[in-house]
A = this chain, B = another copy of it.
Amino acid sequence: MKYLWFMIFGLLVAGCQPVAPEQGVVADPLPSWNDGAAKQAIVGFVAKVTEAGGPDFVPVSERIAVFDNDGTLWTEQPYYVQLAFAMDRVAAMASDHPEWRSQQPYRAALEKDLHGLSKSGVAGLLELIMATHSGMTTEEFTRIASAWIDTARHPRFNVRYQDLVYQPMLEVLSYLRSNGFKTFIVSGGGVEFVRPWAEQVYGIPPEQIVGSSIKTVFEVRDYGPVLVRLPEMDFLDDKEGKPVAINKHIGRRPVAAFGNSDGDLQMLEWATAGGGPRLGVIVRHTDGEREWAYDRDSHIGRLDKALDMAEDSGWTIIDMKKDWKKLFPFETE
């Protein structure tokens, strides 16, 4: 009879809880991270803000974490992925624009001449973006961007761009979410370029993607209402723009912010200056072998002032080479 009661108790417990695959062993939530200060800072932060009754407890509704995209969640070298997209769009559209063969910045884009492109400056880049990202409905643009991201390949790694997301950062996203955080992307890139694939790749839904945008206008056509993309900037979500966009879209100050360049400086400042526990993290590109090594002198993803401010501000620096066991999901360890 005693045995039977044990059985009953055993059945009750077994019936109510999933059996852990390795009982007594807690799986490492960040398996692609080497043990070190960066991993400790992230795990320590999560432990303290989720400790019920603890002095640093943060209610679930305030667990907002923001992530830059280019260079923080995926590779941004040898050029921003969205620039690769724009150059490919110029090539695809060139037959309708014979004048582009002799006109900058289009010629440079057609020849993938980055030096020539950089001579056109920000104005040239904006012209390229407007020519390739506007003049269609939002749904047409989503189809074009989705088709491209599903097939285009990175010039160095020869894999799809969406395979060049950082595995350790995917683990951080997932780890934060499993601890009640809402994760947001706050990108300098175009919001409608990131949204079509971010849910599948990062687990972040469209409504949690904040980014740069061009203006759209509502039109009713024969077949129904559409939003048409205009060749006009609406908002540049970079530098001082990031806290502005966070306030506009999210409406609360994040408790954790992850970036990699001076474009993320104000976002890091804004997030970490709030009261209570705060986590500011900079992904530093130190691995010239597995990826790229660049900081103060880079034209893409320059990390200079934010690096100077990191120590005084208590921001954590991820040293990609030392802290990450693997960079990309496709690598075998």
In the complex, what residues of B have CB within 8 A of residue A227's CB? 243-244, 247, 270
Instruction: Give 1 or 0 for each of A14-56: 1 = CB within 8 Å of chain B CB.
Output: 0110000000000000000000000000000000000000000
Among the listed stretches A68-76, A88-96, A211-219, A283-291, which one makes contact with chain B, having 4 or more residues with CB under 8 Å of it? A211-219
User: Any chain B CB within 8 A of the CB of A195?
Assistant: yes
If A12-B11, A269-B225 touch, whether A247 touches B195 (CB-CB below 8 Å) is no
| A145: min CB distance to chain B, Å | 12
B206 touches A252 (CB 8 A): yes
User: Any chain B CB within 8 A of the CB of A182?
Assistant: yes
B15 touches A195 (CB 8 A): no
Q: How far is the CA of A40 from the CA of B299 in the complex (A)?
A: 60
In the complex, what residues of B have CB within 8 A of residue A195's CB? 251
In the complex, what residues of B have CB within 8 A of residue A12's CB? 11-12, 15
B240 touches A209 (CB 8 A): no
User: Any chain B CB within 8 A of the CB of A205?
Assistant: yes
Oligomeric state, in copies: 2
Q: How far is the CA of A4 from the CA of B248 in the complex (A)?
A: 62
B213 touches A248 (CB 8 A): yes
Q: How far is the CA of A206 from the CA of B252 in the complex (A)?
A: 7
Q: Find residues 143-160 in chain A having any chain B CB closer than 8 Å to their own CB.
A: none
A218 touches B266 (CB 8 A): yes
Q: How far is the CA of A218 from the CA of B247 in the complex (A)?
A: 10
Q: How far is the CA of A227 from the CA of B4 in the complex (A)?
A: 66
B243 touches A218 (CB 8 A): yes
Q: Find residues 225-250 in chain A having any chain B CB closer than 8 Å to their own CB.
A: 225, 227, 234, 240, 243-244, 247-250
Q: How far is the CA of A205 from the CA of B8 in the complex (A)?
A: 44
Q: How far is the CA of A249 from the CA of B206 in the complex (A)?
A: 8
Which residue from B191, B217, B250, B266 sits with its C-beta under 8 Å from A248?
Answer: B191
Q: How far is the CA of A207 from the CA of B248 in the complex (A)?
A: 9
Q: How far is the CA of A76 from the CA of B281 in the complex (A)?
A: 45
| A244: min CB distance to chain B, Å | 5
User: Any chain B CB within 8 A of the CB of A61?
Assistant: yes
B240 touches A206 (CB 8 A): no
User: Any chain B CB within 8 A of the CB of A192?
Assistant: yes
User: Any chain B CB within 8 A of the CB of A273?
Assistant: yes
A217 touches B244 (CB 8 A): yes
User: Any chain B CB within 8 A of the CB of A224?
Assistant: yes
Which residue from B8, B61, B216 sits with its C-beta under 8 Å from A247?
Answer: B216
Q: Find residues 245-287 in chain A having any chain B CB closer than 8 Å to their own CB.
A: 247-252, 266, 269-270, 273
| A165: min CB distance to chain B, Å | 19
Q: How far is the CA of A199 from the CA of B7 in the complex (A)?
A: 46
| A176: min CB distance to chain B, Å | 15
If A206-B252, A251-B207 touch, whether A266 touches B61 (CB-CB below 8 Å) is no
The 24 sampled A-B contact pairs (Cβ below 8 Å) are: A4-B4, A8-B11, A11-B12, A15-B15, A15-B16, A61-B199, A182-B207, A191-B248, A192-B251, A206-B252, A207-B208, A207-B249, A209-B251, A216-B247, A216-B248, A217-B240, A218-B266, A220-B269, A225-B243, A225-B270, A227-B243, A227-B244, A227-B247, A227-B270
